[in-house]
């Protein structure tokens, strides 16, 4: 496992150091263009431990800045690679505008809800961020559907844990680190673990163009991913590099939740004509036995090692084909 981290501007730095189509996953949290270097005015926390030297982007440059770094992100991602961009709402439109001029495709617009001390009395309290999850077309993207919760795991109310974990509102609290030095707005490890594990595999390469407190780098390395990234602020960079040096690859592997139960082990594999034929035959057989489509599909999921949607889509397609051929 290796890491390459540069104290450079990410736009010029990525042109110099990162080849086209070479990155599996980008997770990044760009400066906000809202005087991020003065954020302490809004947040209820002691500033003594917050790292100085955060490099902010003037508002009037935010649009062109976003276009430039997102162009680089598009270039360096592998086909099928994913990008998660964390953004507040103030300049979100610039980021969306830039993304829409690329070949990247939107998969989800995630709302990350957290608790954090923003002082407001005469309006509602701001407690969410946006996470834009996009992919580069050209190959199937990595999405490890059952990496955290198995298909049959349920909570006390009987709701599927896998389904709730994959809803697009994430409630993950920020980590308070009293007495420890931190970057302004450091992302919680839980949030990073979730994105990294769903959208990459061990030995993949994860890039963060705006490292700040190095949280993406530390969690990625801790999950056995290679890391490449940039941080323009010199003091923040030096502090981050010290932490990286004492970070052991894979140190988080034992802390991750393993899914329970059986899996659709054939998920993602193409259906062969023989398998489709066998599926239809078995569908009729089990339907006669169980009498409902739902129970029949549940049985077939187990037998074919595939998810519900995959089985249902195949059956619907075969039924449609049969209907059409019986009409002619």
Ligand X SMILES: C[S@@+](CC[C@H](N)C(=O)[O-])C[C@H]1O[C@@H](n2cnc3c(N)ncnc32)[C@H](O)[C@@H]1O
Figure out which of the listed residues 54, 129, 133, 134 binds ligand X, where binding follows CB under 6 A.
Answer: 54
Closest approach of ligand X to the CB of residue 32, in Å? 6
Figure out which of the listed residues 82, 112, 231, 304 binds ligand X, where binding follows CB under 6 A.
Answer: 231
DSSP-derived secondary structure for 83-150? EEEEE-STTHHHHHHHHHTSS-EEEEEEEEE----B--SSSPPP-EEEEEEEE-SSSPPP--TTSSS-
Our CB check for ligand X shows the closer of 54 and 198 to be 54
User: What is the bridge-based pairing of β-strands 77-87 and 128-135?
Assistant: antiparallel
Our CB check for ligand X shows the closer of 170 and 230 to be 230
Binding mask 88-127 for ligand X (x = CB under 6 A): ----------------------------------------
Q: How far apart are CA 84 and CA 195, in angstroms?
A: 8
Q: How far apart are CA 16 and CA 75, in angstroms?
A: 13
Q: Does 215 sit near ligand X (CB under 6 A)?
A: yes
Figure out which of the listed residues 212, 222, 249, 264 binds ligand X, where binding follows CB under 6 A.
Answer: 212
Listed ranges 121-129, 142-150, 181-189, 260-268: which one lies at the site for ligand X (CB under 6 A): 181-189
Q: How far apart are CA 71 and CA 102, in angstroms?
A: 7
Q: Which residue is nearest to ligand X (CB)?
A: 212
What count of Cα atoms within 13 Å lies in the side-chain half-sphere of residue 252?
22
Q: Does 232 sit near ligand X (CB under 6 A)?
A: yes
Listed ranges 173-181, 232-240, 268-276, 303-311: which one lies at the site for ligand X (CB under 6 A): 232-240
Q: b or e along 171-197 (b: 16 or more beta carbons within 10 Å of the residue's beta carbon)?
A: ebebeeeeeeebbbbbbbbebbbbbbb
Within 8 A by CB and 6+ apart from 277, the residues are none
Listed ranges 105-113, 146-154, 224-232, 282-290: which one lies at the site for ligand X (CB under 6 A): 224-232
Please give the residue ranges that form the binding site for ligand X (CB under 6 A): 9-10, 29, 31, 54-55, 183, 185-187, 210, 212-213, 215, 230-233, 236
């Amino acid at each position: 496992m290796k890491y390459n981290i540069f104290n450079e501007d990410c736009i010029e730095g990525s042109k110099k150091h990162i080849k086209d189509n070479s990155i599996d996953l980008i997770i990044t949290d760009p400066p906000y263009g809202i005087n991020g270097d003065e954020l302490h005015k809004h947040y209820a926390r002691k500033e003594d431990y917050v790292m100085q030297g955060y490099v902010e982007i003037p508002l009037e440059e935010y649009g062109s800045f976003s276009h430039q770094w997102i162009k680089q992100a598009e270039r360096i991602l592998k086909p099928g690679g994913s990008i998660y961009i964390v953004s507040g709402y103030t300049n979100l439109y610039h980021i969306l505008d830039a993304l829409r001029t690329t070949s990247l495709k939107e998969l989800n617009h995630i709302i990350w809800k957290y608790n954090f001390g923003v002082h407001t009395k005469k309006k509602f309290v701001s407690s969410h961020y946006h996470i834009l999850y996009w992919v580069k077309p050209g190959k199937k993207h990595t999405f490890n559907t059952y990496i955290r919760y198995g298909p049959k795991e349920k909570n006390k109310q009987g709701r599927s844990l896998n389904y709730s974990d994959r809803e697009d509102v994430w409630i993950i609290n920020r980590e308070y680190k009293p007495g420890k030095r931190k970057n302004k707005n450091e992302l919680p490890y839980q949030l990073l673990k979730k994105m990294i594990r769903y959208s990459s595999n061990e030995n993949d390469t994860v890039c963060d163009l705006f490292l700040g407190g190095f949280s993406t780098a530390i969690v990625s390395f801790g999950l056995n991913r290679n890391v490449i990234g940039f941080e323009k602020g010199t003091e923040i960079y030096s502090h981050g590099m010290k932490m990286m040096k004492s970070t052991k690859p894979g140190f988080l592997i034992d802390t991750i939740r393993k899914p329970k139960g059986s899996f659709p082990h054939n998920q993602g594999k193409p259906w062969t004509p023989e398998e489709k034929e066998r599926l239809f035959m078995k569908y009729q057989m089990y339907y006669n036995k169980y009498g409902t489509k739902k129970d029949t599909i549940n049985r077939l999921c187990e037998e074919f090692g595939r998810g519900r949607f995959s089985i249902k889509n195949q059956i619907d397609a075969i039924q449609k084909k049969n209907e059409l051929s019986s009409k002619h």
